A and B are shown apart, each in its own frame.
Chain A
Amino acid sequence: MSTVAQKRLFHEYKNLSTNPPDGITAGPITEDDMFHWEALIEGPQGTPFEGGVFAAELKFPKDYPLSPPTMKFVGGGVWHPNVYPNGTVCISILHPPGDDPNHYEHASERWSPIQSVEKILISVMSMLAEPNDESPANVEAAKMWRERRSDYERKVRDEVRKGLGL
């Protein structure tokens, strides 16, 4: 039995493997469970995340793509205003238009069934480069980013180095 969600996820998987965007790798952890993916994202150049490789976990609801997946960085090390201390990513594309925790978000930036894993991952790359501190998931990181930018960047670089085992 293959549902709409499974088929759709399979299409996305196939597309991402044959045609991956720069700096992004993603796919299901096992092909038996299309609802649980792993992604690797390179830290964008020109940002303190540059040189890092970040692993994240994506979980898809059964009614995907009507509802968006959730995304969580695993293994820690992402010190960022829009990433909860436990790694969960909080950006507009991961929120359905109905649910608007961040009132500044335009509906157009939020989840819609024609969005995709690829667009989410590209958004997350953008987010790493350009935090949105209006409603931070990590208040401490947001404060640091706002008030002590060089400390923030140093901390991020340290985490990146640690993550690479250097």
Chain B
Amino acid sequence: MEQTFDLPDSTDWLGTPLSLLTPLESALRCQVCKDFFDNPVITSCCHTFCSLCIRRCLSTEGKCPACRSSDQELKLRRNWAVQELVEAFQNARPSVLDLAKRAATEDREDAEVGTAQPASKKRKVDERDGSNSEVSEGRQTRSRTKGVERQTEPATMDVVEDSQDEEYVPEDGLVACPICNRRMKNEAVFQHLDNCTGDPVPPKKISFGSLQPMSPASRTLNKAPERLPTINYSLLKDNVLRKKLKDLGIPNWGPRPLLQRRHTEWMNLWNANCDSKTPKSKRELLHELGVWERTQGGSAHPSAESAGSVMRKDFDATAWSTTHESDFKQLIANARKRSDALVRTTIPSAAPAQSQESPTVEQPVEATIPTNMQKPEQPLVDLTSAAYPKIQHAQEPGESEEPYTLPG
């Protein structure tokens, strides 16, 4: 069961002599999206997330996802230091990982030749490499001023102008592309945005839609983008809200709840973009709104959306058993002849990495889970009632260990 993972992840360091970089990389990743921090901001409770991630959380729930204290998006502050860290780390990552992987391969080859117990040999190798700073020194000292310089770069957002007042809209049941103003069906807009050349339709007598095509003049304005305020939707009538969306240059079709959700998403995309040193163009943001529209908004398949309430009864047992057959057989076998030893269940392909990994980590008990700092201290299989409260506690987002939480 060979698995191909093409997404860089903190676990990439596992099984290399630099496995201690796993928690470091985890700390540089947002706990909400698990990606490297993108425009990191700090909350008033001092937790750091991507600007967009925390804005989405706050508009959903109004609370910090880490500690659940109430927070407002107005209080978010940019965290430049973290941004620099992430950039520097990402810059160094490929070459360091490459070195680490090559070292790991060499270790393996050594171990195959040698007759000593692989585990103890491996540990020695790792200790040596752990204290060896040669690998990274050259890169760590590289100074990076690029980020600072870029801060002052003028933003290149297009300014949306409230140009049209009550303009004539043809009653053709179509809507205008916010970029080029071509008219098309509601559902076609976002798809079109992917290919939209941005070339405006030659101006006609009638102006379609409130958003003017980007004129060279407005493009060179280079005003810093202004943040969008939150709206108390309950105070707005339908047509006012629709007008508002139109003025923002985003599609204003669909039922009322969708309008609100779309506006919220747009506001989050927009305001997160205001936190960026290199803001995206409005067109890129519209594209991102389009992705949202297709997955969660008006063009999403309703069946997928309602997964929460509808549990498919006809669970595909065949697909499942082929995928997990070996796991399951192994589990059953283990269960049948269970001794009092801990039974480890692993996906087979992961097992080799695991066994090499365990000795390299300086954690006293849970050698099998080397990097997850939030692991319950109790072995999981020993779930007596006494152990239970501890486990519960481990799920609660604690302040101190926060940055080291691994995805799971």
Known A20-B350, A59-B308: A7·B7 in contact at CB below 8 Å: yes
Bound-state CA distance A96–B109 (Å) is: 49
The answer to whether A164 and B332 have CB atoms under 8 Å apart is: yes
Please name all residues of chain B whose beta carbon is closer than 8 Å to the beta carbon of A96 when the two chains form the complex. Answer: 61
Write the nearest CB–CB distance from A65 to chain B, whole angstroms: 6
Instruction: Return B249 CB to nearest CB of chain A, in Å.
Output: 22
Q: Given A7-B34, A108-B396, is A40 in contact with B331 using a C-beta cutoff of 8 Å?
A: yes
CB distance B369 to A70 under 8 Å? Answer: no
CA distance A125 to B381 in the complex (A): 8
Binds B, one of A113-121, A137-145, A148-156: A113-121
Q: Provide the bound-state CA to CA distance between A21 and B380, in Å.
A: 8
| Residue in A14, A22, A50, A115 whose CB lies within 8 Å of B7 | A14
Interface residues on B, range: 35 or more
Within 8 Å CB of A74, what residues of B? Answer: 315, 317, 320
Instruction: Kindly state whether residue B304 has any CB partner on chain A within 8 Å.
Output: yes
Asked if B316 contacts A29 (CB within 8 A), the reply is: yes
CA distance A107 to B62 in the complex (A): 13
Given the interface pairs A11-B407, A30-B319, A119-B408, the reply to whether A44 lies near B380 with Cβ below 8 Å is yes
Q: Given A14-B11, A62-B305, A109-B395, A53–B381 Cβ distance below 8 Å?
A: no
Which residues on A sit within 8 Å (CB–CB) of B354?
18-20
B325-336 to A contact mask, C-beta < 8 Å, 1/0: 001100110011
Q: Is B9 an interface residue (CB 8 A)?
A: yes
Proximity string of chain A (53-89) to chain B, C-beta cutoff 8 Å, 1 when within and 0 when not? 1010101111101110110101100000000001010
Q: B32: which of A65, A130, A164, A165 is its contact (CB, 8 Å)? A: A65
Question: Judging by beta carbons under 8 Å apart, are A53 and B34 in contact?
Answer: no
User: How far, in whole Å, are A30 and B318 apart by their CA atoms in the complex?
Assistant: 12
Bound together, the chains give a CA A55 to CA B354 distance in angstroms of 23
- Nearest residue, chain A, Cβ from B351: A20
Contact with A along B319-360 (1 / 0, CB 8 A): 110011001100110011010001111110110011001000
Q: Complex Cα distance A18/B408, Å?
A: 10
Judged by a CB distance under 8 angstroms, whether A102 is at the interface is no
- Complex Cα–Cα for A119 and B375 (A): 9
In the assembled complex, which residues on chain A have CB atoms less than 8 Å from the CB atom of B332? 53, 164-165
Report the bound CA distance from A38 to B372 in whole Å.
Answer: 22
Q: Is the CB of B408 within 8 A of A12?
A: yes
A57 touches B315 (CB 8 A): yes
Contact of A135 with B by CB under 8 A: no
Whether A45 contacts B382 by the Cβ 8 Å rule is yes
B68 touches A86 (CB 8 A): no
Partner of A97, one of B68, B315, B319, B335: B68
In the bound complex, CA of A128 to CA of B291 (Å): 39
Please tell me if the beta carbons of A46 and B383 are within 8 angstroms of each other in the complex.
Answer: yes
* List of B residues within 8 angstroms of A51 by Cβ: 335-336, 338
Contact A14 B32 (CB under 8 A): no
* In the complex, chain B residues whose CB is within 8 Å of the CB of A65: 32
Asked if residues B61 and A42 are in contact (CB atoms below 8 Å), the reply is: no
Interface residues of B in 2-37 (CB under 8 A from A): 3, 5, 7, 9-11, 14, 31-35
Docked pose: A60 CA to B31 CA in angstroms: 17
Q: Which residues of A contact B88 (CB under 8 A)?
A: none
Q: Which of B65, B304, B315, B345 contacts A20 (CB 8 A)?
A: B345
Closest beta carbon of chain A to B285's beta carbon, Å? 15
Given the interface pairs A42-B335, A112-B68, A118-B408, the reply to whether A15 lies near B311 with Cβ below 8 Å is no
Residue of A nearest to B390 (CB): A126
Measured CB to CB, the nearest residue on chain B to A119 is B395
Q: How far is the CA of A52 from the CA of B328 in the complex (A)?
A: 11
Tell me the B45-65 residues at the A interface (CB within 8 Å). Answer: 53, 56-57, 60-61, 63, 65
A27 at interface, CB cutoff 8 A? yes
Q: Is the CB of A3 within 8 A of B68?
A: no
List chain B residues, Cβ under 8 A from A17. Answer: 3, 347, 349-350
Which residues of the other chain, A, contact B34 by a CB distance below 8 angstroms? 7-8, 11-12
Q: Is the CB of A47 within 8 A of B3?
A: no
Given contacts A12-B34, A108-B397, contact A21 B369 (CB under 8 A): yes
Q: Would you give 24 A-B contacts (Cβ < 8 Å), ordered by A?
A: A8-B407, A12-B408, A14-B9, A15-B406, A16-B408, A17-B350, A21-B380, A24-B345, A27-B323, A30-B323, A38-B324, A47-B383, A51-B338, A57-B315, A61-B307, A61-B308, A63-B296, A69-B308, A70-B307, A108-B68, A114-B405, A122-B394, A125-B383, A130-B388
Measuring CB to CB, which residues of chain B are less than 8 angstroms from any residue of chain A? 3, 5, 7, 9-11, 14, 31-35, 53, 56-57, 60-61, 63, 65-66, 68, 291, 294-296, 300, 304-305, 307-308, 311-312, 315-317, 319-320, 323-324, 327-328, 331-332, 335-336, 338, 342-347, 349-350, 353-354, 357, 368-372, 375-376, 379-385, 387-388, 391-392, 394-397, 405-408
Q: Please give me the 4 A-B residue pairs with the lowest Cβ-Cβ distance, nearest first.
A: A118-B408, A116-B408, A129-B383, A44-B383
